Amino acid sequence: MPQGTPDYTFIRTFAELENFADDCRDIEWMGFDTEFIGEKRYQTLLCLIQISCEHGYYLLDPIAVDNLDPFLDILEDPAVVKITHAGDNDYRLMNKQFDCIPQNVFDTQIAAGFIGHRYPTSFAKLVEAETGDVLGKGSAVTDWSKRPMSPKQIKYALNDVIYLRELYDKIMEQLAANGRQEWALEECAAMTTEEYYYRDPNHEFLNSNIARSSRTKDRVFLLRLYEWRRSTAEHKNYSKEMILQSKLISQLTRGVRGGLSSMLENRRLPQSTVKRYGQLFVDMYEREATPEELAIAKSIQRSSQEDEEDDMLIELLYLIMKYRANEADISHALVMPRNAIKRMKQDPETRKTILGSGWRKELLGPDFVGWLNNFNNLKLKIEGGKISLEA
């Protein structure tokens, strides 16, 4: 681990940011990380951007500099490799607040999953495994908006970018040796597309287990409730949990059927919430559904007896996926999460997005892809101690 804090430049004005951009016109790579505050806020507060490149280390203060265009131009420059660790949150923040879509990105957490590391793995664990250096305890839980920053905060912040180039070199060398470089770069490149940052405005409702087990009228209420919580949080710049706790949504969905008096008598619902918003919730529940709301509400399939058979098939396919990933020394969590197979079964478009014609399809093999494409006709057979899948 480097002793002390390395020399760095603190960028606090737009003129200093322009000077940085001018100095960096010839760079081939840039490592970066961000510190932000999202707790108790709807709009995340970007507090600090840490940068490393051929010319040294920089700390950019986005609280003091409200125009980040020169930095964003570098993020969107395909000639410059951007190196991050777990950069998904950083890029999503930049996209949401500045409509920025990065180009030519390399994420050490993603790439490490192709050389035998678990995915996800922490920055500290990856640094220790690949360089031997041990990062000390930092200031992850701290007030990054506070100025002036403490020496401890500055050292912690710089540590997040000091190792990025070294990790890039070491991981790229191993990827070239094991023939996985193309796969890793393909996975990183997903973050350079507009589709990557799209999120369905009704994603909370569409992924809600409450909605899946509810009747249509309850689903419409739930759809409206999620949207009311989101829009209210955005208007007040509060977190959604500060507007309405997620743990209350199930009780509200059941309680609102009996009207205001029923909710007031429900000991699991805070009286302050019911007194403040109860009549609003009742009106929300009783209002006639629009055709658009009905279409969204009915797009979710209700649970059925077939789910048990599907669950067994999904579990078996998931285990096969894990086996093939482990054989290739690739983290199975990087290949796909547990719920991905179920989503692919329900939505052919999701299947195309996840498998496509890329590295996952090559890794899993034509038989696996065939099973997914014919999931509705797939049968599980156990004969003579052997398990088989037949479409």
232 three-class SS: helix
Q: Which residues pair with 388 in a beta bridge?
A: 381
Q: Residue 105 in contact with residue 191, Cβ under 8 Å?
A: yes
Structure tokens at 324: 């093939």
389 three-class SS: strand
CA atoms within 13 Å, Cβ hemisphere of 202? 18
DSSP letter string, 137-196 = P--SSS-TT-SSPPHHHHHHHHHHHHTHHHHHHHHHHHHHHHT-HHHHHHHHHGGGSGGG
> What predicted TM-score, i.e. pTM, was given to this entire model?
0.92
Amino acid at 61: D
Virtual CA dihedral for 88, 92, 98, 102, nearest 10 degrees? 40
Burial of 276 (0-12, 13-18, 19+ CB in 10 A): exposed
Structure tokens at 289: 């559904």
CA distances from 70 to 22, 164, 268, 287, 382 (A): 9, 21, 52, 49, 62
Amino acid at 13: T
Tokens 């950019």 -> residue? 60
Label residue 35 left, alpha or beta by phi (over 0 means left) and psi (-120 to 50 means alpha): beta
Report the chain's terminal Cα–Cα distance, integer Å.
Answer: 55
DSSP letter at 53 equals: E
What is the rounded CA–CA span in Å between residue 377 and residue 36?
48
The residues, ordered by sequence, that sit 6+ positions from 84 with a Cβ below 8 Å of its Cβ are 31, 32, 33, 90, 91, 105, 106, 107, 108, 164
DSSP letter at 7 equals: P
Label residue 104 left, alpha or beta by phi (over 0 means left) and psi (-120 to 50 means alpha): left
What's the CA angle centered on 289, arms 284 and 293, to 5 degrees? 100
What is the rounded CA–CA span in Å between residue 60 and residue 338?
38
For residue 109, give the nearest of 303, 333, 308, 287 by alpha carbon: 333
Tokens 């990105």 -> residue? 105
Q: Residue 196 in contact with residue 190, Cβ under 8 Å?
A: yes
pLDDT tens over the chain, length 391 residues: 456 789 999 999 999 999 999 999 999 999 999 999 999 999 999 999 999 999 999 999 999 999 999 999 999 999 999 999 999 999 999 999 999 999 999 999 999 999 999 999 999 999 999 999 999 766 557 999 999 999 999 999 999 999 999 999 999 999 999 999 999 999 999 999 999 999 999 999 998 999 988 999 999 999 999 999 999 999 999 999 999 999 999 999 999 999 999 999 999 999 999 999 999 999 999 999 999 999 999 998 765 555 778 888 999 999 999 999 999 999 999 999 888 888 888 777 788 778 776 999 999 999 998 998 888 888 888 888 888 888 7
Q: What does the pLDDT read at residue 122? A: 96
Q: Residue 227 in contact with residue 203, Cβ under 8 Å?
A: no
Burial of 141 (0-12, 13-18, 19+ CB in 10 A): exposed
Burial of 352 (0-12, 13-18, 19+ CB in 10 A): exposed
